[in-house]
A and B are shown apart, each in its own frame.
Chain A
Amino acid sequence: MLTKLTNWSRLKSPWILHLNTGACNACDIEVVAALTPRFDVERFGILLKATPRHADVIVCTGPATRQMKDRLVRIYEQTPDPKFVIAVGACAMSGCVYRGAYNVLGGIDQVIPVDVYVPGCPVRPDAVIDGVVKLLNKLKG
């Protein structure tokens, strides 16, 4: 009964944490744009949260830089279970143009497990929403 309730609430209102791990800002802006009136993800109950301890879903943008790696792991550990990670943008998927640079690890999945990949450079806000919805479907099934 209780698990059913938590599952239901998680599906109806996933809280996300937006984390920039070295992105060029474009993907971040598009993630924020998804919250604003044109796209308005809040109608699906998706809320942007400020701290990892409140979040269910970590939305990562950017290739993992060496400097951010430890912090990324730390933030992942701070997020309460069950947690999900969405890699937003070509950077978070594989490193994009920065692949091969000395300070870039190339893709979030080198550091933490990723559930959903959203391609694009930068992603469109609609793609971000699609990614979150796909994740929700995954939770359901």
Chain B
Amino acid sequence: MKFQIPIGPQHPALKEPISLRMTVEGEIIREADIRLGYNHRGLEKLAEQRTWIQNIYLTERICGICSHSHTTCYVQGVEKLMELEPPKRGLYIRTLVAELERIHSHLLWLGVAGHEAGFDSFFMYTWRDREIVMDILEIISGNRVHYGINTIGGVRRDLDDGQVKHILDSLEILRKRSEYYKNLGTTEPSFVARLAGVGYLSKEDAIALCAVGPTLRASGVPMDVRKDDPYAVYGEIPFEVCTADTCDVLGRTVVRIQELFQCYNIIEYLLKNLPAGPVAVRAPRRAKPNEVVSRYEAPRGENIHYIKSNGTDKPERLKVRAPTLGNYAATIKMLKNGFIADVPLIFAAIDPCICCAERAVSLVDVRTGQEKIISMNALKQLSLKISAGKVRKREAEWPL
């Protein structure tokens, strides 16, 4: 006897709107399907109507957890298009914020994992310590989440000695706390028993299904853009790529905790070797016609932006491939033949960021089960209808 169970888009187990549809036999999941599109906002189209500078703030709002990832990825691409060389100090500060973001994202994830495993005090602990990182970010950038620190050609704010000292002091506290989490996460019997063996993804599958980030590294593949294709100043920073070979949720937890320690080391190195000088160079208004692919290791995995310029002050096309999208295929594999009770845990383990991944244009009516794939042309009609009457700056072609 097979049943179909729809979960979402609004569901206690999910923090963001997404719909999973599972076919179950008893308690075992036989088929799983992910429905997207609840969070699709049409960002890529919007980006074509904004200038290079405005788009920094737009890409920042692709996602609230890895906001710096998206801006850095975008800004790096644009700098390549404009043939700009940001100053060293600017790159150091950019990397510093990137690593702080990784810490806050991993702490956040640890909490969520604890929560999904029924370990709520762990959730409260990690989120309390996450506030330390949020404070640092607020001191550096002036905002807790959308830092707005990147600009084309460098960063917008400089660091002073007081801030450097504050960060180093806070790092000490964070190190101590993370040590505690490491012990807890890897030795606490009930926590380990809940996580071990759940959501198995073999090394071969991980590679074949193009998993990225900690999900991939927990399957024993040491792949990290920071090491493989160094951007910013990662080429000169000593750090290690953390892997685990248990291929399950426990492995993903361990990888993330180890990465926390790497982050602390990187930040310490950055602050101790902070070069003097300006933080940004002036950027031109226009970019020559060209195209570029920019890669970035976000907390969740590899983030790719494709940018095409046409000589004006606006991009002709911006394409975003967020890490979560790369992990969906692997998630379905992990869900299959698992238990229903494990769904939130497995799903949380890829650290899904749905707003990042919502680039798909397939519309599904969940209630009637009717699936409607809107063709690009129909979509264009729709967008034309909406923008009808407004002054159009340029004849945009749908770029596919």
Contact = CB atoms under 8 A, between A and B. Distances in A.
Interface string A94-134: 00111011111000000000000000011010000000000
A97 B42 contact: no
Contacts of B313: none
A103 B10 contact: no
A71 B41 contact: no
Contact of A68 (B9, B42, B67): B9
B386 A24 contact: no
A50 B12 CA distance: 5
A47 interface: no
A28 B146 CA distance: 13
Given A23-B355, A98-B41, A51 B12 contact: yes
Interface residues of A, number: 38
A19 B12 CA distance: 10
Contacts of A104: 41-42
B45 interface: yes
Contacts, number: 125
B145 A22 contact: no
Interface string A68-99: 10010001000000000000000000001110
A106 to B, nearest CB: 11
A9 interface: no
Interface string A59-70: 000110101100
A123 to B, nearest CB: 9
Interface in B322-347: none
A50 B116 CA distance: 14
A75 B38 CA distance: 14
Contact of A26 (B58, B64, B124, B383): B64
B64 A29 contact: yes
Contacts of B108: 29
Nearest to A68: B38
A49 to B, nearest CB: 9
Interface in A6-47: 19-30, 32-33, 36-38
Interface in B1-59: 9-12, 15-17, 37-43, 45-46, 49, 57-58
Interface of A: 19-30, 32-33, 36-38, 50-52, 62-63, 65, 67-68, 71, 75, 96-98, 100-104, 121-122, 124
Cβ-closest 8 pairs across A and B: A26-B64, A50-B12, A25-B64, A36-B127, A101-B42, A102-B383, A26-B145, A103-B42
Given A26-B61, A27-B64, A28-B15, 15 more contacts: A20-B16, A20-B17, A24-B61, A25-B353, A26-B145, A28-B64, A30-B145, A32-B15, A33-B127, A38-B127, A67-B38, A71-B38, A98-B43, A102-B45, A122-B146
